[in-house]
Amino acid sequence: MNILTIKDLTVKHRDSTILDQVNLTVQEGEWLALVGESGSGKSVMASAIGGLLPSELMVLSGKIFLDDQEITRFSEKEFQKIRGKEIAYIFQDYQGAFTPFMTIGKQFDEMLKTHTGMSKNERKEFALLSLKNVHLSEERVYKSYPFQLSGGQLQRAAIAMATILKPKLLIADEPTTALDSLTAAKVLELIAELTKQTKSAVLFITHDLRHVRKYASNLAIILRGEIVEFGDKKTIIKQPQHLYTKQLFSAVPKLRETPVRLLPNTVKQEATY
């Protein structure tokens, strides 16, 4: 079942076309990786889906469906009802996900108050459980202000907030760019773990093809606002059709299969990627 369907979406900025007749789908439980260089239109597409386009950008034509409901030209009030509940975001600016002068717990409470009929005690218990599920010290983080947490902790808290209501669609827009490689790997494992439980469809926007190979099921390649390849990840990686796709994957170093030869008296190590 398609959770997200985009049909012939065109977004313009004055005389410039940012997205040009984009078509793609994301199914329930699927990870679709959207890959392209900076400025290709990836984040514009993510913003258009949730009604977050800046005022200078305009949807010229096309349609966006969440399940069978067309949401292309929802009002801000209509988007507020589904944003966070049915469509959730994890951004690369994890600090921007939280208001600096409110505790994490207060911000969880505000969101749950908006989208559920839970009592205050129920909201707190639900938030604590969500923080625990992302392997945080729930009581301490709940009472903390954003500036009191590390980058990795804040990103985990942002993931907890994005997945707490089991959204139909999770949009992860470069969610690990600001993190070190070890923390990034743990964060992606966590997203995979949580979305497997919730069966959320995931639109995974990234420039890191290593992550695409590991987590994505389908793949869309975007170049200057156009989808130039879309389909099964393994097929596209093994048999890319577009020159741009071929260049992308040819630039990714291969995993070494044999130990690296080192100087005498040093320990042999496997090269890792």
Residue 151 pLDDT: 84
Q: How confident is the model at residue 254 (pLDDT cuts 50, 70, 90)?
A: low
Cα gap 46→185, rounded to integer Å: 22
**Residue 135 or 125, more confident:** 125
- 220, amino acid identity: A
Q: Which of 221, 225, 222 is nearest to 235 (CA)?
A: 221
Tell me if 223 sits within 8 A of 244, measured CB to CB: yes
Cα gap 50→119, rounded to integer Å: 28
- 190, amino acid identity: L
Would you kindly state where each structural domain of the chain is located, as residue ranges? 2-250
Q: The domain at 2-250 falls in which architecture?
A: 3-Layer(aba) Sandwich (3.40)
CA distances to 31, 211, 237, 268, 272 from 214, in Å: 11, 5, 12, 26, 14
For the stretch 92-126, pLDDT in tens is 877 778 999 999 999 999 999 999 999 999 999 99
pTM, 2 dp: 0.86
Tell me if 220 sits within 8 A of 32, measured CB to CB: yes
For the stretch 49-81, pLDDT in tens is 999 999 999 999 999 999 999 999 999 999 999
* 268 has a pLDDT exceeding 80: no
* 267 has a pLDDT exceeding 80: no
For the stretch 230-251, pLDDT in tens is 999 999 999 999 999 999 888 7
Residue 132 pLDDT: 93
Secondary structure (3-state) at 141? helix
Q: Which tokens sit at 190?
A: 């966590």
Would you say the C-alpha torsion 61, 81, 54, 98 has a positive or negative sign?
negative
Extract the runs of DSSP E, i.e. beta strands, from the chain: 2-13, 16-27, 31-35, 58-66, 69-70, 87-91, 169-173, 201-206, 218-223, 226-232
